[in-house]
Structure 1
Amino acid sequence: MKITGYRTLTARHQWNRAVGDINGHIVDAVTDVPILLVDTDAGITGVGMGSHADIARLFPAIDGEDPRSVSALFDRMLAHVFKSGHAGATYGGIATIDAALWDIKAKAAGEPLWRLLGGRDKFIPAYASGLDIALDDDQLAAFYTEFADRGYVAGKLKGGFDPDADLRRLRIIDEVFRGNTSRPGLMLDANESWQVKQAVRYIGTIEEELDLLWVEEPLRRWDAIGHARLSNAVRAAIATGENLTGIDQFRPLFDAGAPDIVQAGAVWGVTHILRLSTVAAARDLPVSVVGYNANPAVACAMTAVPNHLTTEVQGLEFAPGVSVDHEFIDGGIVLGDRPGAGIEVDVDAIAELATTADWSNPAGPHVRPERAGLRLVLDGVER
């Protein structure tokens, strides 16, 4: 079997709510969903989701190769961009190709990807995440109630600016999930908005009244020493890593003893999370996938690793034209038996959609505010 070409298309996901974090939000959010189709001479097409970054530059590394050599082709793509480096957006392109190749390999074997990777159980523990900083209290309760109705017992709040507001909103999530458990899992995501001492004070204020399962991305992603200091100063686990592109970028954090929970962005793909899970397992650390909806194929890998803790689910529906053979029930994700990663796309339906706003919106969460990290030094009032 040989790889013969590729096609790209973009679906658009209507969230039916505002989404964002402390860095910004999008009202009535509609976001781009990059999709990659990799064709073969055997008539099998692989579907990958995540990013279109540098696809054209990366494709020569795999063109004409046997797509079933997935791990070797992953390294071949890394080598192909050796001089310029694989970090950042380029890694998203590598991961999307990687997801499509895993899809081909599983389809060729006639098996669901989770089975091909060595998984035994189709159930993946998961938690709800509303990207919810712009939701009012009623909207917040409604979002998490929809997940509670499906058996979920944990949720992650976007916050980090006002501890009083975060306490009020965390209590709303706690109350919603108490219908399913006496001890809901509560997480707080600050999206790299604090310095170490700010984080200690802020988390301490929350922990006087509520127990947190973890605090996510409290500091800048590269601050290994700061994360280790913070972990020693608070009760909550410190979770980080979703924006690190490649397991090499985790080395300083591991050396510093920084992460309590090792996170991987779903957008960075299947091979990345498999390799990262192995490295984390050698240190007796759990792993957690962030942003499942961006690349659902990664869930198939989570049943095959021994240290998966839980996976972030940000919505119960996918973009029009995208079908994923997964169910959101019993407090998690139940993987299907469709051969491959379980993702199918309707090319014609996607092509009919009009162009709309996406994450590049300057008000959106991918643009860091000029005074981020400084806004909390005094009383939290922007002046």
Structure 2
Amino acid sequence: MLLPFEEAIQHAVWDLFSQSVGLPLWRLLGDKRDELAVYASGLDFHLSDHAFQELFGRAADAGFRGYKIKVGHADIERDLGRLDLLKKATGDDGRPVMIDANEAWTAAETLAALDLFARAGHDIYWVEDPIPRDDFDGLRRLRLARPGTRINSGEYLDLSGKRRLLQADACDMLNVHGQVSDVMRAGWLAGEHNVEVTFGNSFLEVGVNMALALPGVRWLEYSFQNFEHLVEEPYPVRDGLIRGHDRPGHGLRLSRTARDEHRTPEPLSEAALPPAPRWERPA
């Protein structure tokens, strides 16, 4: 995952500001809770069946509070097979199961898929981005047609788009992540519409600071991105719950190894630079 430049700058500024007042970022933003449930998200479309089962089996053993898998394959039976494998890997432990289609379906295809999954015994807690992000009419129709399955959307929309999504009454859950200020604005806006907020991936789970500070948040996504070695102490995740740091700022500090391996080389002094080539005008 790449961190956009503007997002990195915002996190740095908010980190410095919260350090200047001696508060953890999540407390500065207005702590509503001190821990949050984490669901295991596989980013698993490319995984073999064996790797898929291993990943979610480990997630179940680690106590993650829910599981999200990718769907939207050209062959719907492949999606159904993955749900069967998930149930086998996790021991059918009763924890919520979410699916993410990444806008692969039409509204009709979404309804057909959910009906197929239900007949096969799979209770879907939410379906994320089933159809194109700006098809607000289609998303609203899905909400009305399948009230038992929540529609989670908004991840790919900017703040203005999220406002239109909420005004259209087109989602049960608003998915947010990214720049601190925009996320907080979107979260407060969702609260005004009585819509639950869910948090998608953020680099090193730094989004937990906003998730702990906004009302109506119950879930944060964890996708096993394996960046924890870059910092001295990642955000603690125990028994399927994530907590913010108690240190001022966002609390993440680059490890010495990361500093040594990835630091920018010192610029050469002018004396050490090779002489500039001399160009002569042709006769």
Compute the TM-score of the two structures, normalised by the length of structure 2.
0.84
CA distance in 1, matches of 2:225, 2:242: 10
Check conservation: 1:325, 1:335, Cα contact below 8 A: no
1:179-218 superposed Cα distances (whole Å, 9 cap, x missing partner): 7x4x221111110111121222122211222110011111
Identify which of 259, 263, 272 aligns with 1:347. Answer: 259
Alignment counterpart, residue 191 of structure 1, candidates 96, 99, 102? 102
- 3-state SS of the aligned residue for 1:149? helix
Choose which of 78, 83, 86 in structure 2 pairs with 1:170.
83
Partner of 1:272: 182
Return the letter of the residue paired with 1:51: P
Is 1:288 aligned to residue 198 of structure 2? yes
Instruction: Give deviations 1:154-180, integer Å, cap 9, x for gaps.
Output: 11111112332222222332344447x
Distance 1:121 1:337, change over 3 A: same
Cα distance, 1:344 vs structure 2: 1.7
Instruction: Give the % identical residues.
Output: 29
Task: Identify the residue that residue 16 of structure 1 maps to in structure 2.
Answer: none
Which residue of the partner structure matches residue 231 of structure 1?
Answer: 143
Are 1:270 and 1:297, in contact at CA under 8 Å, matched by a contact in 2? no
- When residues 202 and 304 of structure 1 are mapped into structure 2, their CA distance, relative to the original with a 3 A threshold, is same
**Rg larger in structure:** 2
Q: Choose the corresponding residue for 1:263, options 166, 175, 186.
A: 175
CA–CA distance in structure 2, aligned partners of residues 176 and 117 of structure 1: 38
What stretches of structure 2 of length at least 5 have no aligned partner?
265-283
* CA deviation profile, 1:267-290 (whole Å, cap 9, x unmatched): x22222211111111111110111
Do residues 202 (structure 1) and 113 (structure 2) align? yes
Q: Structure 1 96/295 Cα, relative in aligned 2: closer, same or farther at 3 Å?
A: farther
Partner of 1:130: 42
Aligned-pair Cα RMSD in Å: 2.2
Q: TM-score, normalised by structure 1?
A: 0.63
What residue is the counterpart of 2:157 in the other structure?
244
Hey, what's the Cα distance between the residues in 2 that align with 1:335 and 1:127? 16
Q: CA deviation at 1:317?
A: 3.1
* 8 Å Cα contact 1:225-1:258 kept in structure 2: yes
For the residues of structure 2 that align with 1:143 and 1:193, how far apart are their CA atoms? 24
Taking the TM superposition and a 5 Å limit, the aligned residue runs for 1:1-383 are 33=2, 50-52=3-5, 93=6, 95-119=7-31, 121-161=33-73, 162-178=75-91, 181=93, 183-209=94-120, 210-234=122-146, 235-246=148-159, 248-264=160-176, 266=177, 268-292=178-202, 294=203, 296-315=205-224, 317-318=226-227, 320-345=229-254, 346-351=258-263
Amino acid paired to 1:188 = I
Assess if the C-alpha contact under 8 Å between 2:22 and 2:249 holds in 1: yes
What CA distance in whole angstroms lies between the structure 2 residues aligned with 1:277 and 1:130? 25
Greater shift after overlay, 165-174 or 304-313? 165-174
In 2, distance between residues paired with 1:108 and 1:148? 40
In structure 2, the residue matched to 1:8 is none
* Contact 2:204–2:228 (8 Å) recurs in 1: no
SS in 1 for 2:52: helix
TM-aligned CA distance change 1:120 to 1:306, over 3 Å? closer
Counterpart code for 1:116: L
Which ranges of 4 or more aligned residues in structure 1 deviate by more than 6 Å? none
Q: Distance in 2 between matches of 1:200 and 1:108?
A: 51
2:280 corresponds to which residue? none
Residues 158 and 188 of structure 1 are in contact (CA less than 8 Å); yes or no, is this contact kept in structure 2?
yes
8 A contact 1:125–1:331 mirrored in 2: yes
User: Quick one: distance in 2 between partners of 1:131 and 1:107?
Assistant: 34
Deviation for aligned residue 1:323:
4.2
Query: Do 2:163 and 2:189's aligned partners in 1 also have CA atoms closer than 8 Å?
Result: no
Equivalenced residues, count:
259
Q: Return the alpha-carbon distance in structure 1 between the equivalents of residues 32 and 234 of structure 2.
A: 17
Deviation, structure 1 residue 324: 4.8
Of Structure 1 and Structure 2, which has the larger fraction of its residues in strand? 1
Q: Which has the higher helix share?
A: 2
Q: Is the 8 A contact 1:174 1:186 kept in 2?
A: no
Taking structure 1 as reference, are residues 109 and 178 closer, same or farther at Cα in structure 2, changes over 3 Å only?
A: farther
Aligned-partner Cα distance in 1 for 2:156–2:32? 29
Give the CA deviation at 1:311: 0.9
Distance of 1:177 and 1:272 partners within structure 2: 36
Distance 1:121 1:135, change over 3 A: same
